[in-house]
Amino acid sequence: MNITLSPQVIFQELDKEAILLDLNGEAYYGLDEVGMRLWQLLSANGDFDAAVAQMVTEYEVEEEELRRDLLELLEDMAQSDLVAWE
């Protein structure tokens, strides 16, 4: 699955967290360390499956659980027009 990050979003890292600023709605969206890492990987190539595979090697988590949690995060982000997918 390919994920497209909105070009209207500014990404700012703050230590082990990140802030997304939606320039259209001027809303802030906070990401924890895992969400920040997902955004970083998706900004590199947009490939969700590759991002999950990479994150499984970086975090002590089962792939199925990680995939489920990340999809939930992406659905929330899509509702705010921060991301879209094909």
The domain spans of the chain are 3-79
Q: Is 53's pLDDT higher than 90? A: yes
Q: What does the pLDDT look like over 22-44, one tens digit per residue?
A: 998 878 899 999 999 999 999 99
CB 13 within 8 A of CB 50: no
Looking from the CA of 62 toward its CB, the CA atoms found within 13 Å total: 3
pLDDT at site 80: 87
Separation in Å, CA 1 to CA 16, 30, 71: 26, 23, 11
